[in-house]
């Protein structure tokens, strides 16, 4: 990866490219204007541009994303960015967005956004966006990290590898264990294959 300031070691999180070898392509990306397919289970598609796609972002502390939403409920499901605050700008469509504050309040802060509206999701908090319009929607997000990370809550909890003990999830979510099994299968987890199987 690229660091644009002199660095005799050439390491800063990601390996740095010698600044003397920097070129325009290290600082650019083309095609963010092209809609992405939303033909999936949640009806959304996130095109992330971080230091992996634009090497010049290395050490810069920023990244961005285009998010496409299917009509009538396209969802960017509840998730967190462990290393970044996000600022979202709606370009097309109507989005209902929100985030949940931390314990013990767990307050939902939510708003309906239209083209030109902006909303901020604080670092580490669970947040979402859903298209409540009848046409496709598009938003652009700025993130305060070259590598913000994303933890999609349902995928992490019910699709972990190896899976979380179903007894743990049943108790935590106050669900029947058969529902936990069903959710683990939906999210790609393997039921009954966890490290607890060999425990007394």
What burial class does residue 68 get, using C-beta atoms within 10 Å of its C-beta: 0-12 exposed, 13-18 middle, 19+ buried? Answer: buried
- 81 assigned binding-site residue: yes
Is residue 79 marked as binding? yes
What's the count of helices (H) and strands (E) in the chain, helices before strands? 3, 12
DSSP 48: E
Is 25 annotated to bind a ligand? Reply is no
Would you list the DSSP string of 53-84?
Answer: T-GGGTTT--EEEEEEE-TTT-EEEEEE-TT-
Tell me: is residue 12 an annotated ligand-binding position. no
Which tokens sit at 6?
């002199």
Nearest to 51 by CA among 13, 104, 20: 13
Ligand-binding annotation for 72, yes or no, is no
Of all helices (H) and strands (E), which one includes residue 46? strand 44-49
Q: Which residues are annotated as a binding site?
A: 76, 79, 81, 86, 127
Q: Which residues are annotated as a binding site for Mn(2+)?
A: 79, 81, 86, 127
Q: Which residues are annotated as a binding site for oxalate?
A: 76, 81, 86
């Amino acid at each position: 990866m690229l660091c644009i300031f002199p660095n005799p070691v050439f390491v800063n999180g990601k390996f740095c490219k010698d600044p003397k070898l920097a070129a325009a392509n290290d600082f650019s990306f083309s095609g963010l204007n092209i809609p992405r397919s939303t033909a999936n289970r949640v009806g959304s598609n996130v095109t992330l541009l971080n230091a992996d796609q634009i090497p010049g972002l290395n050490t810069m502390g920023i990244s961005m994303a285009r998010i496409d939403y299917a009509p009538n409920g396209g969802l960017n499901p509840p998730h967190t960015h462990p290393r970044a605050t996000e600022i979202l700008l709606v370009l097309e469509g109507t989005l209902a967005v929100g985030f949940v504050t931390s314990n013990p309040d767990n307050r939902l802060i939510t708003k309906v956004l239209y083209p030109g509206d902006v909303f901020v999701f604080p670092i580490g908090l669970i947040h979402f966006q859903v298209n409540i319009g009848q046409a496709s929607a598009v938003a652009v997000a700025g993130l305060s990290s070259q590598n913000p990370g994303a933890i999609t809550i349902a995928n992490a909890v019910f699709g972990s590898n190896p899976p979380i003990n179903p007894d743990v999830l049943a108790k935590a979510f106050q669900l029947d264990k058969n529902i936990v099994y069903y959710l683990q299968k939906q999210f790609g987890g393997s039921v009954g294959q966890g490290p607890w199987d060999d425990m007394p």
